[in-house]
Structures are given as structure tokens and as C-alpha cells.
A and B are shown apart, each in its own frame.
Chain A
Amino acid sequence: MPASEGFEDFVSARGQALQRFGYLLTSDWALAEDLVQTALSRAYPRWSRIQSEAPEAYVRKVMVNTWSSWWRRRWRGELPAASLPDVTGHDPYAAIDRRQAVTSALTSLPHRQRLVLVLRYHEDLSEQQVAELLGVSIGTVKSQTSKALARLRAGGALDSYRSTLAGGA
């Protein structure tokens, strides 16, 4: 099938990275996988066009839009869950506690702030790229980033990372 040329390779090569991105949006690995598959299936009909440009950027954008629509439909007003996130068995308790606190802090961020933060600091997109992807101004990206960081800072979510990094430096 000529239209699918490169599609399966892309899924194999970038699937995990996209799932990580999805997880940071959703805080749920299964939901992240669902999001990835949904985005890939929506990108496929346009594959011949987007393949030569920036397929991953396109898929990422579909993920953001899809997640935003799911969030509006199903998770509006959701409070941070108190349950522990999935962890590997050898994690020490301190790490578990920290991850739980961080996950809660991330989940408590407003939807747009969380998107901006993940796109800026996990996907390493520039402010311009984030603005284009979300369809907002660069000023909005800057202000949302600043607010999100301030919120994480105020909640103490960054403290342990800061001290770990400073100690290691």
C-alpha cells in the first residue's frame, strides 16, 4: 500500500516517545497509549502529505487536540488522584512519595499550563512552535509557562529536584 510507506516505520521508531509525551499529558500510561493510537490513526489518511514535512509534529498536534477534546468532554473538574502512580518495584519509598507529589502537582495544573510546560520542557519546542501548535500568541505561551512554573514552585514540587541537581552539581 503506497500511502502507508514509512508509516509503520514511524510507528515503530517514534511510538514510545509519543507515548511518553502522552503520559505527561494524561498521567496514565494506558490512556497515553490510547491517545497515541488515536492520533496515529487520524494522521494516517494524510500520511502521504505529512510524511515529507514533519510527521511527528503533526502527530503531536493531533495528540494535543485530541487530548484537549477528551479533557473537555470527560475530565473537566477532575481533582488530582490520591492513588499512587505505576512504579517499578525497586523504587525506594522516597522516590515514590516524590513522584506522587509531583504527579499530583502536575495534574492540578490548568490544562493549558500543563500543555505548555510539557511542550516546552519535555518536547523542547520553542515558544514560537508552542504558540503555533496551540494556536495562541507567544505572549500567552510565556505567561502560561511562567504561571505553571510559579505554581509548581509554590507547591514545592520542584524543590526536591532542585536540591538533587544542586547536590549533584
Chain B
Amino acid sequence: MDVVPDEVAVRSLFDELTVGQPDAPPDRQRQVWRRIRRQRMARVVAALAAIAAATVVAVGIGTSATSFAPASGRGLVPVWALPWPDHRNGSVPQSVLDGAVRAWRDDAAIDGTPLKATSKAEVIWYVGQKVANGTVVVVIFETESKTRQKLMTR
């Protein structure tokens, strides 16, 4: 008996397996076009969603950098500020408070980045006053860096 190579037997196997192939569906073209339209629609929707998402992010960034929200007792403050009232009572001159912020900023760093290099910080004051019969000055303020806000107490 002749030896039939595996390859020949496999070809024969494939031929037999596909013998029962059904007729081409009459609407194959239409179905393909339908899928193409659906894919196009999906691409358009995805593109619009991406644009919308980018717009939201851009607006969000713009808003966080520039917008202000009302806070109790102090008018409008940046949205990143805490909704705390301002307790400065004038017992410590503002020039002294500003000097305290400058001194803090000179030796502070956020995530290893010196603030002097990153920050055009806006300072939101919460507390800046003398307590304990004038023997202690309490200072609480918040400032913004490129990476995050940081609440400072001294």
C-alpha cells in the first residue's frame, strides 16, 4: 500500500470538513456595510468623548488655577482653599506674617522640590494672631505649589 503523507491526508481532511458549507448569506454585503457604519459611528463617538474629556480636563485645570469660590467670612478664594474663615485679628502686623511665609518658603520643600523654584504661591490665611497673653504667635495658612496645596501651621 502506498504511504500517504500526513500533509495530503490533512488537505483531504480539510476538504471534507468544508463540504457542508452553506450558501452565502444573501445579505452579506448589507451586513458588512452595517458593521462599517457601526464602526464609523463608534469612532466618531469615541472621538467626541475624547474631545469632551479633554475639554473637561482643560476647563478643570483652568478653573483650579483661576477660579474662586466663596468661603465663609472672606469673600472669594481659590477653589483649592479650605472653606475656613480668616481669624487674623490684627494682633500681628501683616508685614510680620508675610515675613513668616517668606521664611517658611525659603527652607520648605514639597516632594523634594524647593518652593522657591516652583511656586508663585498665593497665600490663604486662616489664623495669624497672638495667643496666651501675647507670648505665642499662631500662624495657619495655605499656599499652592505646582504639585499640591499645603496647609502650614506654626
Contact = CB atoms under 8 A, between A and B. Distances in A.
Given A11-B32, A161-B12, A20 B25 contact: no
B29 interface: yes
Interface in B1-21: 1-4, 6-14, 16-21
B31 interface: yes
A103 B18 CA distance: 11
B148 interface: no
The B contact surface, by secondary structure, is: helix
Interface stretch (A48-56, A74-82, A84-92, A132-140): A84-92
Given A20-B18, A153-B6, A166-B4, A121 B11 contact: yes
B32 A88 contact: no
Given A20-B18, A38-B35, A157 B24 contact: no
Interface in A138-169: 149, 152-153, 157-158, 161-162, 164-166, 169
B7 A121 contact: yes
Contact of B28 (A37, A44, A122): A37
A11 B28 contact: yes
Contacts of B69: none
A99 interface: yes
A118 B14 contact: yes
A44 B2 contact: no
Nearest to A23: B18
Contacts of A149: 6-7, 10
A103 B28 contact: no
Contact of A41 (B1, B22, B24, B39): B39
A65 interface: no
Contact of A19 (B1, B7, B24): B24
B20 A165 contact: no
Contacts of B152: none
Contact of A102 (B6, B17, B25): B17
A15 B7 contact: no
Contacts of B58: none
A166 B39 CA distance: 50
A153 B7 CA distance: 11
B56 interface: no
Interface in B34-78: 35-36, 39
B20 A11 contact: no
Contacts of A99: 16-17
A122 B11 contact: yes
Given A37-B32, A41-B36, A165 B18 contact: no
A42 interface: yes
A-B interface, 4 closest residue pairs, ranked by CB to CB distance from nearest: A41-B35, A161-B9, A158-B9, A162-B4
12 contacts: A8-B29, A11-B28, A15-B28, A16-B21, A29-B21, A29-B22, A37-B32, A40-B35, A42-B39, A102-B17, A161-B9, A161-B10
Interface of B: 1-4, 6-14, 16-22, 24-25, 28-29, 31-32, 35-36, 39
